[in-house]
Amino acid sequence: MNLLKTTALAALVASSFALASAAIAQDKTYVIGVSVPTADHGWTGGVDFFAQQAVDRLTKAYPNLSFVLATAPDSTKQAADLEDMIATRNIDGLVILPGDPDAMTASIKKVKDAGKWVTVVDRALSQPGIEDLYVAGDNPGLGTTTADYFKSALPNGGNIVVLRGAPIPIDAQRVDAFMAGIKDTQIKVLDTQFANWNRDDGYKIMQDFLTKYPKIDAVWAQDDDTLVGVLKALKEAGRENEMWAVGGAGMNQIIKMVASGSAQVPVDVSYNPNMVATAIDLTALHFAANAQVDGKLIINSTLITKDNAAQFDYPNTPF
């Protein structure tokens, strides 16, 4: 599969929008299905928000495109939505962020086997090569970028705790890269626990860590929802000045803390849910402009600091 470079994306979009004006005049119409998880935490709430924004915008921009947007709380419902999109809605293409990529692989393959274009977002399928286009954040890069910051902020080492996401491949990619990044340093990982990218779980796990470990220098929460729970636990324990913490993804609440120069949350790492809008945009260009967008687009996981935080502040989002 070809790699669609992020540096070429702006040029592709600009040229393709010009081509699209001619395509719009054609009689052929296309239906694009969009399937995303129901919001169960801040990041998926952002996915739903940006997906709806993209559908509304592209419906106005391209009269020959229509969209079917469905949200699903679990794999059973998401698989049923795909069946309906093929049997009843007669979609020409699908953009999907699978809630559980392993459970959804067979259903997505059925869409592809039916001759439909398939764009997969964020979570890689268990069988490679099914999708035409894959759009995701840089999961290993998120771990590596965070590790680089920890090494610079703890040059003489220190004790840290790690709150993981959920036991799926993207979490392993992040954590493996982070652990590789701090290898051969004096940074000691006291404990790791799965927090499921959830603020309540983050709160409970951090309470447990604070009880077990009297000396913690820093926390890697991996996700900003989890980080909110961590910060609550630190405040209630009166230990918020003993350690700093880093999350990930770019929640507005956390971005504003970074922008203000917070000592407790000095940086964040980008993994924004608006990647789903990028995926829908590119899929729309495939149909409206016959643009070549097949391949893989990996969006950088960037270190967000006080100096560049304004670039990552997206207003009016639920995340």
Looking at the predicted structure, is the pLDDT value of residue 2 above 60? no
3-state secondary structure of 282: helix
- Token look-up 């971005």 returns 255
Q: Quick one: tokens of 246?
A: 């880093």
Counting residues of the chain whose pLDDT is more than 90, the rounded percentage is 83
Buried b (16+ CB within 10 A) or exposed e, 171-203: bebbbebbeebbeeeebeeeebbebbbbbebbb
Q: What's the mean pLDDT in 43-59? A: 93
Contact 291, 19 (CB under 8 A): yes
Q: Give the number of other Cβ atoms within 10 Å of residue 288's Cβ.
A: 25
Q: Residue 27 has what pLDDT?
A: 65
The whole-angstrom separation of Cα 148 and Cα 302 is: 12
DSSP string of 192-257? EEE-TT-HHHHHHHHHHHHHH-S---EEE-SSHHHHHHHHHHHHHHT-TTT-EEE--B--HHHHHH
Contact 57, 82 (CB under 8 A): no
Q: Residue 26 has what pLDDT?
A: 54
Q: Residue 196 has what pLDDT?
A: 92
The pLDDT tens digits for 200-210 are 999 999 999 99
DSSP string of 80-95? HHHHHHHHTS--SEEE
Q: Residue 8 has what pLDDT?
A: 44
Closest CA to 312 of 246, 224, 252: 252
pLDDT band at residue 1, thresholds of 50, 70 and 90? very low
Q: Give the number of other Cβ atoms within 10 Å of residue 214's Cβ.
A: 9
The pLDDT tens digits for 136-179 are 999 999 999 999 999 999 999 999 999 999 888 889 999 999 99
**How are beta strands 244-246 and 218-220 bridged, if at all?**
parallel
Contact 236, 215 (CB under 8 A): no
Q: Residue 40 has what pLDDT?
A: 78
The whole-angstrom separation of Cα 176 and Cα 180 is: 6
Angle of helix 224-237 versus helix 199-212 axis, rounded to 10? 40
Q: What's the mean pLDDT in 62-91? A: 96
Looking at the predicted structure, is the pLDDT value of residue 260 above 50? yes
The one-character DSSP state at 38 is P
- Mean pLDDT over the full length of the chain: 91
Q: Residue 9 has what pLDDT?
A: 52
pLDDT band at residue 23, thresholds of 50, 70 and 90? very low
Q: What's the mean pLDDT in 284-302? A: 95
The torsion angles phi and psi of 215, rounded to 5 degrees, stand at: -125, 105
